[in-house]
Amino acid sequence: FLLLVPFCLSTGFLFTLLSHRLSERMGGNPIAGVYGVEAAGSVVGGLVFNLGVVYLLSTFQSLLLLAAVNAGVFAWLARDLKVGALRHIFLGVILLVVILEVAWDLDRSAAKHLFPAQRIVELEDTPYGKLAVTEQSGQISFYENSVLLFSTGDVSENEESVHYAMVQHPGPKHVLLLSGGISGAIEEILKYGVRTVDYVEINPRLVEMGRRFARVLDDPAVRTVASDARRFVRQNGKLYDVVLINAPDPLTAQANRFYTVEFLREVKARLSDSAVVAVSLLSSFDYYGDDARRLTSVVANTMRAVFAHVLIVPGLKTYFLASDAQLNIRIGHMIEERGISTVYVNQDYIDDTLLRQRSDALHRIVERDAGINRDFTPVGYYGQLRYW
């Protein structure tokens, strides 16, 4: 509110004042034309920004370009007024900002306050958001719009996000991974001797950055796809044995699209027999308050509306596995039986009896009347906002 008030009040005042002065000068009422020109300017500005500026300039460079345009307009409008000194001061301020941008890289300086105690490795504005790659004690973290996407070296989370679902299938050959491949998940998938891994990220620059830190993307079995996951699922005719949906929690309308019944039905149309689908939410560990319980219930109910069997597996996150085939909670036993080499997801760290008890407890808290998450009834999005 405090940031917007000066801008909104001043621009609203100036628009009215300029319209009034123009009417006086023309001896008529050209308000309709003024609004038309203003609307056309908004359209042109939107096109220039979204089709050009956002690809070429950083945040502060975009602001600098806008300031330069405003300075030029100010100088042109003030050419007949006795404000020479003010005009020179205004242009001097713009010049000072240019010098600061060239000398100090204002984008990187501002980002340092967002990621304290971390070294900024990469920083880039993209059409899909501002990407930042940071390093701290050897761990590389990827952020989009200051929200953590994933970090390298997190062995336990990488194993949980892959093996809980993968071990449910008797012989997975084709896997679809929606986001999160740079963190180390693909290495875990390849342990099953799969033929192909289709790794989908909407932002191509994220994949390009990730290649510096994840050599596994060059594996011949891995195909990276820069596309919206929902569009890819609809248009791709390939059948998959396992689909791992590593989307962020449904804290935005964008992320919520991957937790809806419509998307799960689209995914089901691309599944082979006995295929398994997995999504996850940040865990509430051993205590579920009202909001956490309702959000868990929404996701479980949504998956049950599409698949015959749903298994909730507690871990560092809460994992929801879905399939039309039977699912087994004895994950530690199955990992050992299959001979999969793991550090954390095995019987040394996971007691199947305790895991079953915790899973059963999660199933008991599911409320059938919590609703189903839909594209145009996003109760998951609402529930996640309430929970946070």
Query: Over the stretch 70-111, which tens digit does the pLDDT of each residue have?
Result: 777 777 777 666 666 766 777 777 777 778 777 777 788 888
Q: Which sign, positive or negative, has the C-alpha torsion 382, 321, 359, 189?
A: negative
Chain mean position to CA 326: 31
- What would the pLDDT profile of 328-372 be if each residue is shown by its tens digit? 999 999 999 999 999 999 999 999 999 999 999 999 999 999 999
182: CB partners within 8 A, 6+ apart = 142, 150, 152, 206, 207, 210, 213, 214, 217
Long-range pairs, 362-365, Cβ under 8 A, ≥24: 362/288, 362/296, 362/312, 362/314, 362/318, 363/300, 363/312, 365/288, 365/293, 365/296, 365/297
Sequence-ordered alpha helix ranges (H) in 212-351: 229-235, 253-256, 261-268, 290-304, 331-338
Both structure tokens of 80? 């007949």
Assessment of whether the complete model's pTM goes beyond 0.85: no
In order along its 388 residues, the chain shows pLDDT tens digits of: 998 999 899 888 988 888 888 888 888 888 888 889 989 999 999 999 888 888 888 888 888 888 778 777 777 777 666 666 766 777 777 777 778 777 777 788 888 888 989 999 888 888 888 889 999 988 888 888 888 888 888 889 899 999 999 999 999 999 999 988 888 899 999 999 999 999 999 888 888 887 887 788 888 999 999 899 999 999 998 999 999 999 888 988 888 999 999 999 999 999 998 999 999 998 776 778 889 999 999 999 999 999 999 999 999 899 999 999 999 999 999 999 999 999 999 999 999 999 999 999 999 999 999 999 999 999 999 999 998 8
Q: How far apart are CA 83 and CA 78, in angstroms?
A: 7
Residues in the chain: 388
- Inter-axis angle of helices 261-268 and 290-304, nearest 10: 40
